[in-house]
Amino acid sequence: MPDTRFKSLKEFYPFYLTEHRNLTSRILHFIGTGLVGLLLIGAILFHEMKFLIAVPLVGYGFAWIGHYFFEKNKPATFKYPAYSLASDFILFWDLLSGKQPFRVKE
């Protein structure tokens, strides 16, 4: 990861995308972020706080598997936790809406 200090999410997101180019990693991030959304909705609908315990495990679990085994890089979460979390949801929406492809052309 470069030594750059990002000053905004708009500045950070292009870097985030370069760290998420692998198809399998993108799929894992998409699944993990989608499940996080479902867990949050389930916690609210069913008044089940146990679902909240699973949120970081599911979200980070899928993402870190993607980084460790497929991207072969260190998650940006460690250096930019807020920007990284926000970017996870932006990428989820971009993939869902078709703005970003799952398969990135090399």
**58-69 pLDDT tens trace:** 999 999 999 999
Rounded to an integer, what distance in angstroms lies between the CA atom of residue 52 and that of residue 59? Answer: 11
Q: What is the mean pLDDT of residues 61-80?
A: 95
**Calpha distance 59→87 (Å, rounded):** 13
Going by pLDDT thresholds of 50, 70 and 90, the confidence category of residue 4 is confident
Sketch the domain layout of the chain as residue ranges: 9-97
Give the C-alpha separation, 38 to 96, whole Å.
15
Confidence of residue 106 (pLDDT cuts 50, 70, 90): low
